[in-house]
Amino acid sequence: MLTQDARVAGEPVTIHRVERPEDLDDFYEFARRNHRVLAVDSETTGVDIFSDGFRIRLIQFGNKDEAWVLPVEQGPVYAAAAKRVLRETGRLIFQNGMFDLQVFDRHLGVPMEELWPKVLDSKILAHLADPRGPEEGGIGQSLEKLTEHYIDPVVAEEVKGLMTKLAKEHKTTKAKIWSTIDLDHPEYNLYAGMDTILAARLVGKVGPLVPPVSRDLIAFEHRIAEICSYMERTGFLLDIEYTEDLSDELRHREDYYNTIARGFWDELWEEDPPDFSVNATEKVADVLEARGVVIPGRTPTGRRRVDKSLLEGLAKDGDEFALAVIEAKKARKWRTTWVDGFLDQMDSDGRCHASINALRARTARMSITGIPAQTLPSKDSLIRSCFIADPGESIVSVDYQAQELRVLAALSGDRTMIRAFLNGDDLHLLTARAAFGDHITKDSPERKYAKVVNFGRVYGGGARTVAEQTGLDLKTAKRVVDGFDAAYPEVKRYSNKLQTQAQRQGFITTPSGRRLPVDKERPYAALNYMVQSTSRDVTCRALVRLHEAGITPYLRLPIHDEILASVPTKSAEKAARKIARLMQEQMGPVEISTDAEVYGRSWGDGYRN
């Protein structure tokens, strides 16, 4: 057994590294002394839990001043020891338990279902204490930043720099060091153990900072993390043949349009043209100007703005270069960002597993990576068609009808808005009539402008942004914005109330008890934070109800105001209705109602027109 001594916040700590099976007796003795609660962490070969080469290397257990490191990679006896203590310990502290529990489920044979009820996650506590990131004036929720702020800045710096340092020592990259570092490396062991000591200390520091009003959210967020980890585990079936064909097709498209675009660039040079890429905006700008195009826009750093709207305007006027740039960029973006990514990370059963950050944004909104489900193109079914239902099943989507506007109506208590939703009136039409008069009909173009304002107002946008988005002149845009404010006066009042609260105390509190910090310089953001966060809570409460109804195995992903599922085709309509019914909820006088749709075999089937 190897024993290392270190100091944390001026106090001595000890890290034991089990080297031989005989050392396990002392480890079990430690576990017995700490049978009520232990912090747990694991070191693995990477973060690609579902890929073939993934392995657990170490599993660590610790309390505030002592840690034990098990070399799981070196034999099943150590894995068995880790398993035993995971099962026998009453409460388990993790920093981001979603990762470790997924790892233990797939690679250690300990089902997540068994461990989740015992988990206390310091990352969740930290988010409830302060959801801001380090760039937003907060601390963030990473182990490094939390350690720096709450425990010991020197230790934080060492933890942060360690893997970079080891990578340099081993002449490899930071990404590869996790799988290549010698398991017996003393510093690797030291900090592997240290992580549990830090997590154990963090819950004591951050837990008390969760405001009393947020207390119920602690259990709620652990539940949401649990449900999301089951969806991650299930994964989403990939249509491999389709996806491979699509990748080829996009590659050909990209090559074709690249050749055209490059031809225009090469013309600018007498001989040996320098490298060209359609993604190099400065170079694209050079070609455009050589063709006589005046580029009016500038970026914040003063460079010529070459974006989609400029290029599309030119392409519409028949500029072949602009068209080629647009098409080449799009084909590449679609292939590299999505299609090839799916093929790369697909597991041996042809499934892709998203990584869900269930408690991410300042507003607690989730983020989803791996399958970047929140950002897949929705005007076209091509990309979504990569994902399909399980055999014998159909893809079902249930979304909330105008979720944020309904939440806004409920929270603000605006009578007109509430009545509109009760009556099933067309809210966009209502706003359009308030701005332009009663002669406006469902088919009038003014309704579209009103729609932009209805959503834009929730974001805190004003006349200028509405003008930009609709192409209206500023004066008309202002008329629609004023029309909105006149039509729904209580929304304005509510926004003002939130802004006052925000400026007085620096935060607002949602009905679920979540504290949302509001920057002093942007008090107008308070309304959006409140609506966005409360909408997220609506979707998450739905997840809990679906889980309790036993539907989780069919769920694929939550996407803001939507939940995607794969259900048996025979009873798909019925299942969809059931999910929709469980999702809807009453918020004061407003029903946050849902719409169910059975797409078919593929996710893309819902996006064909």
Partner DNA sequence: TCGTGACGCACC
Partner DNA sequence: AAACGGTGCGTCACGA
**Interacting residues with DNA between 400 and 429 (CB under 7 A):** 403
**Minimum CB–partner distance for residue 53 and DNA (Å):** 18
Does 522 engage in binding with DNA (CB under 7 A)?
yes
x/- letters, 235..274, toward DNA (CB under 7 A): ----------------------------------------
**Interacting residues with DNA between 327 and 356 (CB under 7 A):** 329-330, 332-333, 336-337, 341
Please give the structure tokens belonging to residue 444. 């009038």
Does 475 engage in binding with DNA (CB under 7 A)?
no
**Interacting residues with DNA between 172 and 191 (CB under 7 A):** 173-175
Contact by Cβ (8 Å): 51, 183: no
* CA nearest neighbour of 43 among 16, 65, 64, 72: 72
* CA nearest neighbour of 561 among 423, 448, 398, 445: 398
Q: Which of 145, 459, 509, 600 binds DNA (CB under 7 A)?
A: 459
Please give the structure tokens belonging to residue 312. 């599309």
**Interacting residues with DNA between 296 and 325 (CB under 7 A):** 299-303, 305-309, 311
DSSP 303: -
Give the nearer residue to DNA in terms of CB position, either 62 or 606.
606
CA torsion sign for 277, 279, 284, 286 is negative
Q: Which of 138, 370, 558, 606 binds DNA (CB under 7 A)?
A: 370
Residues 16-38 as b/e (b if ≥16 CB within 10 A, e otherwise) read bbbeeeebbeebeebbeebeeeb
Of 255-263, 373-381, 435-443, 585-593: span binding DNA (CB under 7 A): 373-381
DSSP codes, 315-364 = HHTT-HHHHHHHHHHHHHHIIIIIIHHHHHH--TTSEE--EEESS-STT-
Distance CA 63, CA 60 (A): 10
Does 577 engage in binding with DNA (CB under 7 A)?
no
Give the nearer residue to DNA in terms of CB position, either 5 or 282.
282
Contact by Cβ (8 Å): 598, 575: no
φ, ψ for residue 469, nearest 5 deg: -80, -30
**Minimum CB–partner distance for residue 365 and DNA (Å):** 5
Distance CA 506, CA 522 (A): 11
Give the nearer residue to DNA in terms of CB position, either 197 or 306.
306
Contact by Cβ (8 Å): 542, 403: no
Give the nearer residue to DNA in terms of CB position, either 193 or 558.
558
**Minimum CB–partner distance for residue 586 and DNA (Å):** 20
Does 47 engage in binding with DNA (CB under 7 A)?
no
Distance CA 518, CA 460 (A): 13
**Minimum CB–partner distance for residue 341 and DNA (Å):** 5
Distance CA 462, CA 482 (A): 9
Give the nearer residue to DNA in terms of CB position, either 378 or 571.
378
**Interacting residues with DNA between 115 and 144 (CB under 7 A):** 133
Helix (H, G, I), strand (E, B) or coil at 153: helix
Q: Which of 129, 346, 382, 463 binds DNA (CB under 7 A)?
A: 463
Place of tokens 């024993």: 3
**Minimum CB–partner distance for residue 426 and DNA (Å):** 19
**Minimum CB–partner distance for residue 419 and DNA (Å):** 24
DSSP 91: E
Of 12-20, 137-145, 420-428, 457-465: span binding DNA (CB under 7 A): 457-465
Helix (H, G, I), strand (E, B) or coil at 306: coil
Helix (H, G, I), strand (E, B) or coil at 578: helix
Residues with Cβ within 8 Å of 353's Cβ and at least 6 positions away in sequence, in order, are 49, 50, 232, 233, 235, 236, 345, 347, 370, 371
**Minimum CB–partner distance for residue 529 and DNA (Å):** 7
Does 378 engage in binding with DNA (CB under 7 A)?
yes
Give the nearer residue to DNA in terms of CB position, either 109 or 297.
297
Q: How many residues bind DNA (CB under 7 A)?
A: 71
Q: Which of 89, 95, 229, 357 binds DNA (CB under 7 A)?
A: 357
**Minimum CB–partner distance for residue 175 and DNA (Å):** 7
x/- letters, 204..233, toward DNA (CB under 7 A): ------------------------------
Of 14-22, 110-118, 280-288, 440-448: span binding DNA (CB under 7 A): 280-288
Contact by Cβ (8 Å): 196, 16: no
Give the nearer residue to DNA in terms of CB position, either 15 or 311.
311
Strand partners, 298: 304
Count the Cβ atoms, other than its own, within 10 Å of residue 379. Answer: 7
Give the nearer residue to DNA in terms of CB position, either 134 or 568.
134
Give the nearer residue to DNA in terms of CB position, either 286 or 591.
286
**Minimum CB–partner distance for residue 42 and DNA (Å):** 21
Give the nearer residue to DNA in terms of CB position, either 218 or 295.
295
Of 110-118, 141-149, 240-248, 560-568: span binding DNA (CB under 7 A): 560-568
DSSP codes, 538-555 = HHHHHHHHHHHTT-GGGE
Does 379 engage in binding with DNA (CB under 7 A)?
yes
Of 233-241, 242-250, 460-468, 585-593: span binding DNA (CB under 7 A): 460-468
Does 609 engage in binding with DNA (CB under 7 A)?
no
